[in-house]
Structure 1
């Protein structure tokens, strides 16, 4: 019997019937140890958003038959130090693509068409047209970190008649036909872009990837959009560049985060800040419940977990 734990009853209701050989129980490891009568049965543990740390994963380690930990985010660096030995970690790759892509398009349009400027004029009750605000159409965009979210972003930008290319660890042609350049070529590509969209995870290779040299290489008037991780951008370097007025930025993520009161990013010229809301899809959404069903199906047939990231190596 495959036993799937989910963090709330409404998630269990959204999953529905998983078949005669699978069952769903409600357990949130943020709140308590596994139920005594279930701890030896739990096979797949689904974690809610913003779960992590030694306590949560220590509770997962109390389940001797646990095979898969399904986290709710595409990013997984927060979980890596805690995965119990012999347990597979699976991320939620694909679940959040649509929401992140929607926010990316919204940020691009808001910045390009000067919506913050017009909203400010509305609050002041002043008619201040800006007929020179550039369209997205006929611009060039570079998506840095071209995976499934990058493909979703590219599809929406292309609907606005934007020419899109990508950057990843190695050069390739993506399944959607996009030309993806190698990361080693990044600096040479930046001067030719009107929009640079950053959607990379954060690790040693991407820490402060967007530094002073990166920003200096961007074309004057270009827009930087970060919907990846805040620490991929050197905040001090970005603030300094924004203060010159040479480029603009639209940020869903920041470093530090939450952005504290009085931080210079709040008032940096040409900068839009939203509070890391681009990609948080609820666990009731069909994209998430479909993923869990696929996870059960993989377990049922002895296949590797869907969205497998790594096998844990830490003792319980």
Structure 2
């Protein structure tokens, strides 16, 4: 089974999709851009990146595969593990793996995974149907200079003519002003009505999405121990932090903290939610980089090889 299509499907709705035991694909929204050299406009999009440190299973991908393939959660985890094992075999043979509609991954000389994005699709649903286009430059100043040169050269000839009555023009001007005000007022009313209706629809969509997120987040194989969420204490978090893992559910993060404290890590704590919607859990925080690196080496050797260092 190829899991690329399931990863792509989730990136349309979520900012972070974790492949257990491998890494996470992250989607960051970029605003519309203009290339002034080529006069090309690019629509807003989701920029795809990869983080090899986020590999703890949050249940999102396995739950999605189980629902789509109509299989059990455990079977979905097994299929993910099979594909991940195949990817690592390819990488160990110095081959590059290609993940459709996402990009390419290979191993560099230091043994780290390197991701090269190649996303022909735009995962930002708000920009659906939009594409880049090139517009010729508007040369207002050049046209203005030409018009001024023509005016300087053209002779002005005054000819005698009979004085005409243009009083009707002022009535026409008044009518035009009234018509313009009327049209403008109707446009403002119409725009306000459309904006209100759009806001109502967006709120309904957001509520539906939040319901789906809750379903995907808390449907995890196996029962998690119930933990009462403690009142947050005032804890001074130092700049160098050794991270045990990152969790989509705050309750799961607090469960992990309790487990770490039971193992003797008294300073374990959950830090603030990051921009990908995850709650990192740290063993401890340190003042200096050297202290943090020494602690990380010991934790990787004795406890958790996947632990990593976060610097803020």
- Larger RCO: Structure 1 or Structure 2 (Cα < 8 Å, ≥ 6 residues apart)? 1
TM range (shorter): under 0.3
Larger gyration radius, structure 1 or structure 2: 2
TM-score by length of 2: 0.23
TM-score relative to the length of structure 1 = 0.23
